[in-house]
Structure 1
Amino acid sequence: MTKMVRELGTTGRMVSPLGLGCMGMSWGYAESSRNDAESMAVIRTAVDQGVDFFDTARVYGDGHNERLVGRALKERPDVVIATKGGLVVDDLSTHTMRREATPDSLRRQVDESMSHLGREIIDLYYLHRVDPTVPLEDSWGALADMVSQGKIRWLGLSEVSTVEAARAHAIHPVTAIQSELSLWTRDAQGIASAGHDLRPATAGSASTSGGDVVSWTADHGASFVPFAPLGRGFLTDSIDVGKLDDDDFRKTNPRFQPEAMEHNRFITATVRRIATAHDASPAQVSLAWALGQGPRVLPIPGTRTPRHLMENLGAIDVSLSETDIAELDGLGPAQGSRY
């Protein structure tokens, strides 16, 4: 991969344009085949390839993923690790969780994350979801206090509206906002999916309908961090839902049901055609599009295999034409809600 860097917000800290999302190593995808040793090897290979931006969260496996990432990066204090709080697990076996972002709870969660990661300071800490029972100002103010205490370097938000982002930013700078963004999920740009009003109701889903969050970050000097930039594997054009493990949450995800999958093939057909013209893979074209959404956009594709890691990193060298971009931007909305 070509060595390139992008600034994290306006912190002056430069990081690799593609980070590594580590959630799937512990949570959500084929957990029965989880292999910590192989996942740690992928993280270390990523570092060897110049990746220095890693994403985890306390809720991923109820601390498992933070511990995994912490062990893998124990000897690399120079890389940036982002983690999150404000969601807590009630039942690990069913992935049942709830929003809990009171100041006292966030203080406990930050201390636990520091312990899990084995770090004396957390580089980037996101409020994972806004807790509707707690004023955002209280949650964000508690996190800002922990920045003053030297426990956190920078603060971010996850799945928020532009109004919520502005409320937080008035109290303490928002360094980054993380939300789902890909060629089949444009919610963060204010573009709803077919039959989806941008307001899913589950604890782990988005907060409220929110406008063009990507543009808000650009206007306010924050990074935008797309998670699931490969559509949870759909955009690689290689997913066989019938072969997914029973514990893979995509089994029941609306986007991965037969009717929606068939309807949404128009997206992968276009991506594959453009990929073929560039001697690239569909994954690389999808990531190249995401990278093109702004100079501080930092996608975090996840993988558990070295092969897919190297394929994803190759997206940095894919140069899409204006015609390609216009065609990809013009793709219609995907069918099915994302949660």
Structure 2
Amino acid sequence: MGLEPRQLARGLWTRPLGLHCARLGDAVTGRDGDARSLAALRQGIECGATLVDTADSYGHGRSERLVGRLLREFPEALHLVSKVGHLRGSAPHPYAGKRIQHQLEQTLDNLYTAHVDVYVLDSHDFGPQDRYLDIVAEQMTTLRELEYIGAVGLRGPHAPYGAGPAERRAAADRFVSVFAAVRPDVIWTRCNMMLPMAQLEGEDLVAFTRRNGVGLVLASPLAHGLLAGGPGGDRLLSDLPTSARDAACDRLAALHDRFGDAPGGLLRMALRWCLQRAPHAVTVVGFSTAQQVKEMFTDLGPPLGEGELRAWEEYCGTLRSDGSPALR
């Protein structure tokens, strides 16, 4: 299995390895920082990326604006994912009134485009007693019908790193209720060895989305750089409680013991695992430099054999804190 295009949503075919642009919003500001970010994005296109994942909340629009500058150079090259649900401006809530419409207008302006391929509801908070939920669902459907967006997206079950089983079950239950109201075309979720795979109605998220005919975007497969030795992994560890941080370090050491310390080894295993075990998904990877982007696309190597896939699944499954099964 290579990087041939696959279907993410109706009418949307894209290569299965894309770019997650959250770090663009946090990058060093100024001409030098922008130049490095744009060089990394250009490298992604040269390596074959066709999907870029951003959000209005990444750097309060800075990430979108940098992607927009790239689109002026390559207007036909990319499919776009953006998100809404965290910025509220002067409104009482990020989903209140015409907030989604206003944020989409700003997103389109930032991106220098008239259309976003996937527009993701990035929060499951729809106000007291879900007062905005049905209204937002209708608004998203209308935006799709008017072709301002190609597909309605929804964030998957969300619980913080280090959350316990009860908190994760509550997040999964909440997601199922929102999913039923929104009826999305695509689910966006984090997926890596630090996170148990969400269980929904007796099956994992991959099986749930396939059964419902919904596409899947898998983000942060390298655990924010933890599996590739990047600084984002260090920041992730520093944000965890001591017990969770110690457990994460133990998991990482166990992976190195099992799969080796060769540069790019865990990167290859993690990315290939996502690409091969979720054929209806696109995996988006964070980056800071053009060199990192090049390594992610060129260090993939050949597809994993069944033995390698089983070993990675079993190992990651046993390393997760609550024993949730790995991707199947």
Partner of 2:191: 181
Contact 1:7–1:14 under 8 Å retained in 2: yes
Deviation at 1:212, TM superposition (A): 2.6
Distance 1:264 1:220, change over 3 A: same
In structure 2, stretches of 5+ residues that fail to align are 158-174, 323-328
Q: Secondary structure at the match of 1:60?
A: coil
Map Cα deviations across residues 195-236 of structure 1 (whole Å, 9 max, x no partner): xxxxxxxxxxxxxx9963222211122221111110111122
2:156 alignment partner, one of 149, 159, 164:
159
Distance 1:18 1:120 in 2: 24
Is 1:143–2:179 an aligned residue pair?
A: no
Tell me what 1:15 maps to: 14
Is the counterpart of residue 53 in structure 1 residue 64 in structure 2? no
Paired with 1:256 and 1:230, the residues of 2 have a C-alpha distance of 21
Give 1:250 shift.
5.2
Length-normalised TM-score, structure 2 = 0.79
Distance in 1 between residues matched to 2:52 and 2:22, nearest whole Å: 10
1:259 aligns with 2:253: no
Counterpart amino acid of residue 191 in structure 2: L
Q: Evaluate the alpha carbon distance shift between residue 239 and residue 51 of structure 1 in structure 2; reply closer, same or farther with a 3 A threshold.
A: closer
Q: Which amino acid aligns with 1:334?
A: R
Q: Residue type of the partner of 1:184?
A: M
Equivalent in 33, 37, 40 of residue 38 of structure 2: 40
SS in 1 for 2:196: coil
Cα distance in structure 2, aligned partners of 1:256 and 1:145: 46
Q: 1:221 aligns with which of 192, 203, 213?
A: 213
Q: 3-state SS of the aligned residue for 2:101?
A: helix
**Which range moves more in the overlay, 116-125 or 326-335?**
326-335
The aligned residue for residue 268 of structure 1 is: 255
Q: Which residue number in structure 1 is paired with residue 284 of structure 2?
A: 300
**Alpha-carbon separation, structure 2, partners of 1:296 and 1:315:** 22
1:91-240 aligned at under 5 Å gives the runs: 100-133=94-127, 134-160=131-157, 161-169=175-183, 174-189=184-199, 212-236=204-228, 238-239=229-230
Instruction: Give structure 1 stretches of 5+ with no counterpart.
Output: 91-97, 191-208
Please give the per-residue CA displacement for 1:93-143, whole angstroms capped at 9, x wherever unaligned. xxxxx9622341111111111111111122211111122313432212111
**Mapped partners of 1:21, 1:268: distance in 2:** 24
Alignment partner, residue 93 of structure 1: none
AA partner of residue 68 (structure 2): G
Once residues 136 and 208 of structure 2 are traced to their aligned partners in structure 1, the CA distance between those partners, rounded to angstroms, is 21
CA drift of 1:314 comes to 3.1
**Cα deviation code 1:261-290 (max 9, x no counterpart):** 4322344325633x85xx952111110011
Query: How much is the aligned-residue C-alpha RMSD, in angstroms?
Result: 3.1
1:228–1:302 CA contact under 8 A, matched in 2: yes
**d(CA) in 2 for partners of 1:252, 1:153:** 36
Kept after mapping to 1: 8 A contact 2:15/2:51: yes
What percentage of residue pairs aligned between the two structures are identical?
23
1:87 equivalenced with 2:86 (yes/no): yes
Number of residue pairs aligned between Structure 1 and Structure 2: 296
Q: Could you tell me the TM-score, scaled by structure 1's length?
A: 0.77
* Mapped partners of 1:267, 1:189: distance in 2: 25
Shift of 1:158: 0.9
Aligned-pair CA distance for 1:249 = 6.1
Aligned residue number for residue 60 of structure 2:
62
